[in-house]
Structures are given as structure tokens and as C-alpha cells.
Amino acid sequence: MKHHSSKVRWSFLLLLLFGLTNQLAYSADLNAGKLKANMACSLCHGANGIAKIPNAPSLAGQNAQYLQEQLKAFRSKSRQNEVMSVIAAPLTDLEIENISLWYSAMKVEVTLPN
């Protein structure tokens, strides 16, 4: 009986660990990302993620990991841009995750030329 009890305990611990890890992996918040993006990003990149000025890229539909890496690079100044370095400097890792989730969740339709 002792052997069975030990298995149950280990199974419970593994399930608990998986649940906590799974929760941490999905800690980004789409609505928080939308709010932060509207405050910090929309002037140049557009409220719908489509850039309004020629030298700013459109962010709608971009890969979340790519966006996170770029924002962190601007924040650390390993990637230089006069405007983006200032915008990204105060962002926390969670805010970067949220913003990236927001833009990556947008669906972009591509129409090929005839």
C-alpha cells in the first residue's frame, strides 16, 4: 500500500507542477496588451496595427516572439531607434508579452496582385 501512496503523491505533484507551468506560459493578457498598445504604439503603428506613417512597420499579425525580441532589443538599446528606444525603455517583460500577444492575435488578409 505504501508503494501506491507514493505513486499517487508523485502523480499529484507532477499535475500540480504542470498546472503551474501551464498557467505561467499563458500569463499574457490580450486586453492589457490592447490598452498598452493603444497608449504607447498606436500613434505610429495604428490602432489596428496598420502603420500610419511611412517609416513605421505595420505590426498586425506579426509573430509574438519576434515582437517580444524586438521590443526587448529596443529596451536594452542593443537595437537602436531614437523613438522606439524611448518607448520601450519603461516596458516590463509582462507588458512586452501583452503588447506582442495583442498584435499577433490580429488577423491580416493578404491579396496577391493579378
pLDDT digits (tens, 9 = 90+) for 46-95: 989 999 899 999 999 999 999 999 999 999 999 999 999 999 999 999 99
Mean pLDDT, the chain, whole residue set:
86
Structural domains of the chain sorted by starting position, each given as residue range(s) with its CATH number in brackets: 28-105 (1.10.760.10)
Predicted local confidence at residue 93, as pLDDT: 97
- Give the predicted TM-score (pTM) of the model: 0.74
Residue with the three cell numbers 493603444 = 38
Predicted local confidence at residue 24, as pLDDT: 47
Taking the CA atoms of the chain, what radius of gyration do you get in angstroms? 20
Are the C-beta atoms of residues 62 and 94 closer than 8 Å to each other? no
